[in-house]
Every structure is written in C-alpha cells, then in structure tokens.
Amino acid sequence: MAEPAIAFDTLRTAENLKSAGMEERHAKAIATAMRDAVISGTATRADLTEFKGEIKSEFAEFKGEITSEFAEFKGEITSEFAEFKNQITSEFAELRGEFAEFKSETKAEFAAVRSEMKAEIASMKVWLMTTTIAVGGIIIAAVALF
C-alpha cells in the first residue's frame, strides 16, 4: 500500500511527548506508532482505484448473472407459451372437428326429417284424394237416391 497524502508530523509529536517528560526514544517510538496507526486506516488513491476496479468487476459479474438468468427465464416462458399455444390450437382444432361432425349429423337428420315429411305429405295427399273421391261418390249416390 502506498503512503497516503496525510500530514502527520512525527517529529513534532515526538517533541511534544519529550517536552511532556517522556524519554526521546520512547517519544519517537510512540510518534511513529501513532503515524502508522493513522496511515494504516487511511485509504490511498491507489486503494480507491483498486476498490473501484473490484466494484466494477463485481458489478459486471452480477450483470452477467442477471442477464444469463433473465435469458434462461425468457427461454422458459417462451417455451411454456409455445406449449400453451399448441394446446389451445389443438383444442380449437378438436372443437372445430366436433362442430363439423355435429353440423354434418344435424344436416343429415334434417334431411331425413324433411324426407319423412315429404313422404307423409304425399301419403296424406293420396288419402285426401281418396277420401275426397269416396265422399264425392257418397254424395253422388245420395243425390241419385233422392
């Protein structure tokens, strides 16, 4: 670690300790220890640059992880949506088939009913004509009797 640009005057500190009654060698040792303690807790420009690089690196790694997880999630959602779309398409195709079958059966049933009704109407016409002729014959016979 480089020496930070903090002013700590060890000479002045040692002189103050000496004037307070401390021996010179103890005063110098304490002043040096105090300077080292202050400096060791202080970040230098190089420390900050290194820290900035670490933060950028960690952020880039985090961004990569998020991007990767988002891509994975997007793939899963896309896959599930495609599966759902296929299911819906299949269900609609099945319903269309059932509807077409129902429509065909209904048309056939209506055609059968229509055919039966035509036959019944024809039968009723024959009965009506026969009855009309019979009634006409009875009327003619009744008129001839009187």
pLDDT tens per residue across span 11-66: 898 898 899 998 999 988 988 888 887 777 777 788 889 999 999 999 999 999 99
The per-residue DSSP string of 55-121 comes to HHHHHHHHHHHHHHHHHHHHHHHHHHHHHHHHHHHHHHHHHHHHHHHHHHHHHHHHHHHHHHHHHHH
> Would you say residue 24 lies in a domain?
no
Residue 102 lies in a domain: yes
The span from the CA of 89 to the CA of 111, in Å, is 32
Establish if 1 belongs to a structural domain: no
- Range of the structural domain that residue 129 is part of: 43-145
Q: 93 in a domain, yes or no?
A: yes
On whether residue 57 sits in a domain, the answer given is: yes
Q: What is the mean pLDDT of the chain?
A: 90
pLDDT computed for residue 94 by the predictor: 97
Structural domain contains residue 133: yes
pLDDT for the residue numbered 107:
97
Q: Quote the number of domains for the chain.
A: 1
Instruction: Examine residue 14 and state whether it is found in any structural domain, yes or no.
Output: no
pLDDT of residue 1 exceeding 70: no
Query: Per the domain annotation, does 58 fall within a domain?
Result: yes
Residue 89 above 70 pLDDT? yes
pLDDT band at 5 (very low <50, low <70, confident <90, very high): low
Per-residue pLDDT tens digits for 52-73? 999 999 999 999 999 999 999 9
